[in-house]
Amino acid sequence: MAGRRLATTLTLLAAAFLAAAGAAAGSKPSAKFELIHREQAPWDEVARMDQERTAFISSHARRRRATEAAAGAKPKARAKATPPADEAFAMPLSSGAYTGTGQYFVRFRVGTPARPFLLVADTGSDLTWVKCRRRRHDAPAPGYSAPASNGSSSSSSSLAPAASSHARVFRPDRSRTWAPISCSSDTCTASLPFSLAACPTPGSPCAYDYRYKDGSAARGTVGTDSATIALSSSSARPAGKKRRQAQAKLQGVVLGCTTSYDGESFLASDGVLSLGYSNVSFASRAAARFGGRFSYCLVDHLAPRNATSYLTFGPNPAVSSASETACGGSGSGSAAPGARQTPLLLDRRMRPFYAVAVNGVSVDGELLRIPRRVWDVEKGGGAILDSGTSLTVLVSPAYRAVVAALSRKLAGLPRVAMDPFDYCYNWTSPSTGEDLAVAVPELALHFAGSARLQPPPKSYVIDAAPGVKCIGLQEGDWPGVSVIGNIMQQEHLWEFDLKNRRLRFKRSRCMQ
């Protein structure tokens, strides 16, 4: 890809820049927010991180295909019948744009007494972790080097003193419900793929060194603790219309206590909430108790921090029909009016990622010629939905077909160069100085089951600079996995029905 360039700075400022751009162009009402003023376009960095994440996802799938080819795919333990079928809980979710990241943050309370944390909502993670400080005299866990305690700040991060400068740090010794997991336990040896092999004594803590393929990492020890949740009965109200809910504790949540990390992508948040499909992830844990499903609505990625939507566990009547949940969800589930549904491919080889079956892509109603193998996991392709990737990454054959079709329709506009994008346009009218009223071609992703995703134009022809819009897609290597990122998912409600293996979605402003 011509424009791809590996930036060296680790600062993620994409959304902040975009916010500034949007405000300057006066293009959208949503542009009125707190801005973090920066000089430089950060898209390079977002693109780099998305690319590396995609490369990781593809190599992960290849590795799993190789190692688990013969393994009899034992179906995952089904969610047990939950007490009241309509019971749900929700956590506030918002765009991290105000911090300059391309992530979405969720507010999560853990420990006893409960402490609030702001975590990255990540469907590509299986470990939930929070920045953590242990008692000073604690011996470091085996297998990882203790963070520098002298507070020297190397430019490439290394946390630890984050504890002192950072208001929100988890203190396991101050939580009555924290229980360490030992390195000899089944959870550590079998369920935590990222745990370290070192186990000097059976009772030593289970240590991890979790590598994110954008170059960041988190190290610490694993335990369990209780998450405090706001319970609601969802049946009568749409998601989010919940006031003064009952509080409850979700016990035995696997939680990493991260005492050091690398990568500035974690500077703005307190850790990661794992929404991946894995038996230790928070999503699987919470979904098993609440209707076997979770859903989220992603506000416009440039929305201000107070524009809050929800991450909901349990049925969400806005996307799945209430009748199905009322009878215990034994059927295959059905979509509420206006919602689409497609099979959720909980393929062992793709775990913890959520794969979907793409049948095709169309531009202005015309189906593009893209080889079917591009969407086929068996043939080295496939597509996943990922809340932790910002820009959608399409493998070369798909990317080229899509940008060719989109750019053909935009050919009347003057092209401008702007890394990391291949197609950018000067959207400023020479006569008025305002944004041109140019119709953006309609992009649609067609999923199995006749489920069509028609994102708003701003989700794929994005504001990249004042008066400049770019086709906001990235080219991924083929063979490889295509990733539907969070910008493409914005302003939609997404339900991951793990129990019935369905993905449901519906257009929504996500404002309650």
Active site residues: 122, 386
- Per-residue string for binding with ligand NAG, 442-481, x by CB under 6 A? -------------------------xx-------------
DSSP one-letter string for 346-410: --GGGTTSEEE-EEEEEETTEEP---GGGG-GGGT--EEE-TT--SEEEEHHHHHHHHHHHHHHT
Given candidates 137, 411, 430, 432, which one binds ligand NAG under the rule CB under 6 A? 430
Alpha helices in 252-355 (DSSP H): 282-289, 322-326
Question: Facing residues of 205 across strands?
Answer: 182
DSSP one-letter string for 45-97: HHHHHHHHHHHHHHHHHHHHHHHTSSS--PPPPPPPPPSSTTEEEEEEEEE-G
Q: How many residues bind ligand NAG (CB under 6 A)?
A: 17
How is residue 466 annotated by DSSP? T
Options 103-111, 200-208, 214-222, 426-434: segment touching ligand NAG (CB under 6 A)? 426-434
Is residue 155 at the binding interface for ligand NAG, with CB under 6 A as the rule? no
Q: How far is the CB of 354 from ligand NAG (least distance, A)?
A: 16
Is residue 190 at the binding interface for ligand NAG, with CB under 6 A as the rule? yes
Q: How far is the CB of 151 from ligand NAG (least distance, A)?
A: 8
Find the helix or strand (DSSP H, E) in which 193 lies: none
Alpha helices in 118-265 (DSSP H): 162-165, 186
Q: How far is the CB of 235 from ligand NAG (least distance, A)?
A: 26
- Per-residue string for binding with ligand NAG, 133-152, x by CB under 6 A? ---------------xxx-x
Pairing outcome for strands 358-363 and 366-367: antiparallel
Judged by beta carbon, residue 8 or residue 152, the one nearer ligand NAG is 152
Is residue 402 at the binding interface for ligand NAG, with CB under 6 A as the rule? no
Q: How far is the CB of 362 from ligand NAG (least distance, A)?
A: 30
Given candidates 232, 320, 428, 490, which one binds ligand NAG under the rule CB under 6 A? 428
Buried b (16+ CB within 10 A) or exposed e, 165-179: eeeebbebeebebbe
**Do the Cβ atoms of 487 and 391 come closer than 8 Å?**
yes
Q: How far is the CB of 134 from ligand NAG (least distance, A)?
A: 16
Q: How far is the CB of 398 from ligand NAG (least distance, A)?
A: 29
Is residue 416 at the binding interface for ligand NAG, with CB under 6 A as the rule? yes
Is residue 306 at the binding interface for ligand NAG, with CB under 6 A as the rule? yes
| Alpha carbons 200 and 33: distance in angstroms, whole number | 52
- Per-residue string for binding with ligand NAG, 238-257, x by CB under 6 A? --------------------
Binding to ligand NAG (CB under 6 A) within 30-59 occurs at none
Given candidates 57, 141, 206, 307, which one binds ligand NAG under the rule CB under 6 A? 307
Helix axis angle, 14-25 to 43-67, nearest 10°: 140
Binding to ligand NAG (CB under 6 A) within 253-292 occurs at 279
Tell me whether the omega of the peptide bond preceding residue 479 falls within 30 degrees of 0, making it cis.
Answer: yes
Q: How far is the CB of 377 from ligand NAG (least distance, A)?
A: 18
Judged by beta carbon, residue 354 or residue 375, the one nearer ligand NAG is 354
What angle is formed at CA 334 by the lines to CA 332 and CA 340, rounded to 5 degrees? 125
Judged by beta carbon, residue 222 or residue 468, the one nearer ligand NAG is 468
Judged by beta carbon, residue 393 or residue 464, the one nearer ligand NAG is 464
Radius of gyration of the chain (CA): 22
| Alpha carbons 59 and 236: distance in angstroms, whole number | 44
Judged by beta carbon, residue 139 or residue 327, the one nearer ligand NAG is 139
- Per-residue string for binding with ligand NAG, 191-230, x by CB under 6 A? x---------------------------------------
Judged by beta carbon, residue 115 or residue 219, the one nearer ligand NAG is 219
Enter the tokens of residue 79.
């969610």
Q: Where are the beta strands (DSSP E) in 74-216?
A: 87-95, 104-110, 115-122, 129-131, 179-180, 206-211
- 3 state DSSP class of 487: helix
Is residue 25 at the binding interface for ligand NAG, with CB under 6 A as the rule? no
Given candidates 426, 442, 444, 448, which one binds ligand NAG under the rule CB under 6 A? 426
Applying CB under 6 A, the residues found at the interface with ligand NAG are: 148-150, 152, 154, 190-191, 279, 304, 306-307, 416, 426, 428, 430, 467-468
